Structures are given as structure tokens and as C-alpha cells.
Amino acid sequence: MSTKTLADELETGTEVYGFDAIRGVQAGREFYVAMCPLNIIPKLFVFNDHALPAEIRAQRTLRETRIPKITNYIINNPKDYLFSSLTASVDGKMRFSPSPALGEDGKLGRLYISMNSKLLINDGQHRRKAIEEALKIMPELGNDAISVVFFGDKGLKRSQQMFADLNKHAVKPTTSLGILYDHRDAYSTFIVKLANEVEMFRDRVELEKTTISNRSTKFLTLSGISEATKHLLSNNTKMISEEQE
């Protein structure tokens, strides 16, 4: 990221943010994928419309209760956390400058955004807030980067439609699949170990779904074993001794 004078890029005389970026076209509109350092994210995206009615906003109200969990995920895994891209709309001056070696039609280059522009997160405001909180605890994470997909702002209705489209087809993975794939969580690893090693469970556990069809040869779900084990441990999933295993 760099800060530059806008005279050459945007001809406004103000200043810009500059990011390495890739240019693409989707549904006839240009968009840009930029690599943004984490320490610029809180400054780039500012929440200031939560007091407005839902019909004149283009994003959901921030659910503060979600933030600590995401923040802890970052600070507990500083070498192993993973975030998908943020998606944002830019209401203001924005210009893509392709790399000179690639010509005017080049897809790689620099994206310049006026500091006077209003940037709205269409998808990812909880990640953005968690990043801000994590940086207060571990400022050294500021040099890490997250990809941001930038679109030009086409007004409130378009921004609301983008939010609806981005969330309409999102499908949360089943609880069973979440347990199966979570190698970082000791309790999830323990449950998968039970399913694989206990004789009565072996080859009888549905590992992906949370329900069992009539024609299935499975008798139990991985999520069911997890819930039953929680009751046996009195919901204390943090302390599993070798003896308990």
C-alpha cells in the first residue's frame, strides 16, 4: 500500500490509497482484486450508518457478539489463520493503472482510490471489525494482507442488491462436516478419533450429514456423537485428558 498525490492518477489534487491489484470483468462491469495490509483495513472501511433504518442502509447491523470469537481465532493462530476476500463498493474516484509492460489492456497493475471516497463493505464487516480488534492486541499482524474485491458504487439500490446476492446462495456447512475438517480443535479431533477407533462406531457413522436417510447403512451421525459426548463431559470440551479418551 502507498499514499500518493492524485494529480497524475485522478486529477483531483487530493491523495489516494494505492494497491497492487488485478483487473477483471464480471457481468459487464470492471472490478479489481487488491492486496491490502491489515493495518489499513480499519482506516479504509469506517462504520457510520448503524443508526440508519435498514431500508436506507446497504449492510446488516454489526453483531458485536460475533467479534470476540473471530478476534480470538486470529490472535490464537497468528501463523495459521485464513480469511476469504472482503467485498467492497467505492463511492468516489477510483482508477486502475496497468503495468507499463502489459499495455493499456493489462490485467495487472495498481489501483488508486481517492481518500475522499466512501467505501462500503458489502461482505465481510465482521471480519473487518475482528481485524481491528486483533491489531490492538497484536499490532505486528498489520503487515499481513487480505484480498479485497472492489466494485464501483452504483447507488444504494445496487449496493443493497450486491449484499442480497452475496448472501443469498451462501450455504453453511453441516455440523458434522465442520467437526470432520477442524483439525485445529482438540475436541473435534477427539470426536473423529472416536468414530474411527471405537468398534461399535466403525463404518457406522455418517461423517458429512446431520441426518440419516432411510436407505443409509449408517446408524449415527458425527454431530450426534459430538453432542452425546458433550453431555457425558458435562459440556466441558476444553479439558479432555488421555484417561478420558
Residues 103 and 44 in one domain: yes
**pLDDT of 176-189, one tens digit each?**
999 999 998 899 99
Report how far apart, in Å, the C-alpha atoms of 94 and of each of 5, 91, 129 are: 13, 9, 24
Confidence of residue 5 (pLDDT cuts 50, 70, 90): very low
Residue of higher predicted confidence among 7 and 51: 51
pLDDT band at residue 232 under the 50/70/90 scheme: confident
DSSP state, residue 93: -
Statement to judge: residues 56 and 40 lie in one domain: yes
Query: With 0-12 CB in 10 A as exposed, 13-18 as middle and 19+ as buried, what is 62?
Result: middle
What pLDDT is attached to residue 227?
94
Q: Does residue 237 fall inside a structural domain?
A: no
| Region 60-86 average pLDDT | 92
Do 209 and 106 share a structural domain?
no
- Label residue 3 by pLDDT band (50, 70, 90): very low
pLDDT in tens, 102-126: 888 899 999 999 998 888 888 899 9
Q: Of 168, 185, 217, which residue sits at a domain end?
A: 168
pLDDT average, residue stretch 7-33: 81
Q: Pick from 133, 150, 168: which residue ends a domain? A: 168
Say whether pLDDT at 6 is over 50.
no
Query: What span, in angstroms and rounded, lies between the C-alpha atoms of 109 and 92?
Result: 20
CA-wise closest residue to 150 among 110, 182, 101: 110
Band of residue 209 on the pLDDT scale cut at 50, 70, 90: very high
Residues 182 and 163 in one domain: no
Question: How many CA atoms does the CB half-sphere of 131 hold within 13 Å?
Answer: 28
Backbone conformation region of residue 225, classed left if phi is above 0, alpha if psi is from -120 to 50, else beta: alpha
The region of weakest confidence among 64-68, 74-78, 100-104, 108-112 is: 100-104
Q: How far is CA 80 from CA 15, 77, 214, in A?
A: 35, 5, 40
Could you say which of 168, 193, 215 is where a domain stops?
Answer: 168
Q: What's the structural domain count of the chain? A: 2
Task: Give 87's strand partners.
Answer: 123, 149
**Is residue 188 domain-shared with residue 211, that is, in the same domain?**
yes
pLDDT beyond 90 at 141: yes
Q: Are residues 188 and 161 in the same domain?
A: no
Neighbours of 157 (CB within 10 A): 9
Structural domain span for residue 94: 2-168
Query: Could you say which DSSP state residue 158 is in?
Result: H
pLDDT at 7 over 50: no
Q: Is 92 left (phi over 0), alpha (psi -120 to 50) or beta?
A: left
- Residues 93, 28, single domain; the answer is yes
CA angle 35, 37, 41 (to 5 degrees): 105
Indicate if 127 and 149 belong to the same structural domain. Answer: yes
Q: Do residues 138 and 221 share a domain?
A: no
Residue 215 is assigned to a structural domain of this protein:
yes
Residue 244 has pLDDT above 60, yes or no: no
Claim to verify: residue 25 and residue 94 sit in the same structural domain: yes
